[in-house]
Structures are given as structure tokens and as C-alpha cells.
Amino acid sequence: FGVPTTIISDNALAFLGAKVTNWDVNHGIYLSSSSNYYPQGNGLAESTNKNILRIIRRTLKDNQRAWHLMLNSTLWADRVTPKRSVGNSPYKLVYGREARMPISVELPTLDLLHQMELLENEPLQVRYAELMELQELRDQAHVNMEKNQKQMKNTFDKKAKFKIFNEGDIVLKWDVDHAKPGRHAKFDTIWSGPYMISACKEHNAFQLSRLNGEELLIPVN
């Protein structure tokens, strides 16, 4: 609600043109741009995209090309689900209250029943109070996120170990062709196998063989 303090966009001229840039400066808005088509440059965007892809993979069945049909419901599910890292759902951090689910139309929740009992001017007062608490919710979400990031880093540092592979181990191999455009569907698995390590070579390279004994021509690492 109101003029934003920061706008994050890609490098499209629609966001970086002279008129838009001047408008941002005049209104005290900081404009930040990320790399084109590179969500890895924005950690939060990358994390969100991972979660969206995970949900879509679980809902798709035989027809992987129908992912676009699941996108709207996936985004809705992601936005109304509370995040452990911030303590609230993205929806609540934007609007100051939890989303009203479609099922509440047929089966009214306690919150909806309470609003129906309010007098004529009371809903506006309740909404105003919610908006006044919104900045406090966002500040607390920022604190929770920083705390969660520190906990995740400490946990990772404690558990991180150098993985040692030995001859005879059963492993999966990352499918290099998956990263090439047009070679695989977006939601195909990125691993192939299983394979057995038939020989350990120098510089962390391994000779792999299929379970039927057929060796791969090129070692991997």
C-alpha cells in the first residue's frame, strides 16, 4: 500500500528507461536490477522458484507439458502457506491478514462468522487496526528470517562432510544433457542411473558401469 521504497526488476527497458528512472528518483525509490533470466542472482527469487517447481513436480502426473495449468493454483498455495523462515505467509505480510480460502464460503470459519456479527462501522475499524500492525509483522519477519539463516548456516557447517566414494558403491550420475536447452522437459529428473563405481581414478574421477556390467566410456567426477 503506497509508494514502494525499492523496486527490483530485470534489465528490460520498461523498467530502466529514462522516464521511469527519473520518476523513481523524484519519488525516492531505489531501483535494483538483477541479471537477465538469471534468478540465481537473486537468492530469494531462486528459493521461491525452487519451491514452486517442487510443488508442480508433485502435482504433475503423465503430461508434463501441462505444467502451466497448475501454475495459478501452485502460486496460490505458495503465497498462503506460512513460511517457517519468516513466521507468516507471504499473503499476510502483504495484506495484514490471512487469506480467506474458497472453502470458507461453504463452511464459514470463526473469523468470517465474527466479521458477519460486527456492526456497520466495525469492519473498517478492524481492518484499520490490522494495517497498523502490518509494519510490525514485516519487521518481525525480517528478524525471523535473519535468525533462521544463521541457524541454517550453523547446522550446515556442523553436518557438512567431504563425501568419499569407493569402488563398488552404487551412485546416481547428474545428467549433463539436462542443462542443454531443448534436450529435456523442464520437470524431467536431472539424475540418471543407478551405476556402480568400477574404478577410482585420479583427481576425484570415477569409472562407472551399469548394473549389467557395461562400463561407460568416459569417467565422471
| All domains in the chain, ordered by first residue | 6-159 (no CATH), 163-221 (2.30.30)
In this predicted structure, the answer to whether residue 24 has a pLDDT above a threshold of 80 is: yes
Prior bond to 194 cis, omega within 30?
A: yes
Q: Which residues contact 91 (CB under 8 A, 6 or more apart)?
A: 79, 80, 98, 99
On the question of pLDDT at 117 being above 80, the answer is: no
Query: Which runs of consecutive H residues, i.e. helices, occur in 8-159?
Result: 13-16, 18-26, 43-59, 67-80, 90-95, 110-117, 122-132, 134-159
Q: How far apart are CA 47 and CA 51, in angstroms?
A: 6
- Residue with more model confidence, 91 or 34: 91
pTM of the complete model:
0.49
**Short-list 60, 100, 57, 59, CA closest to 80:** 100
Q: What is the rounded (10 degree) CA torsion for 128, 129, 131, 134?
A: 180
| pLDDT, tens digit (0-9, with 9 covering 90-100), for 123-176 | 667 667 777 788 888 888 889 888 888 888 888 888 877 778 889 999 988 876
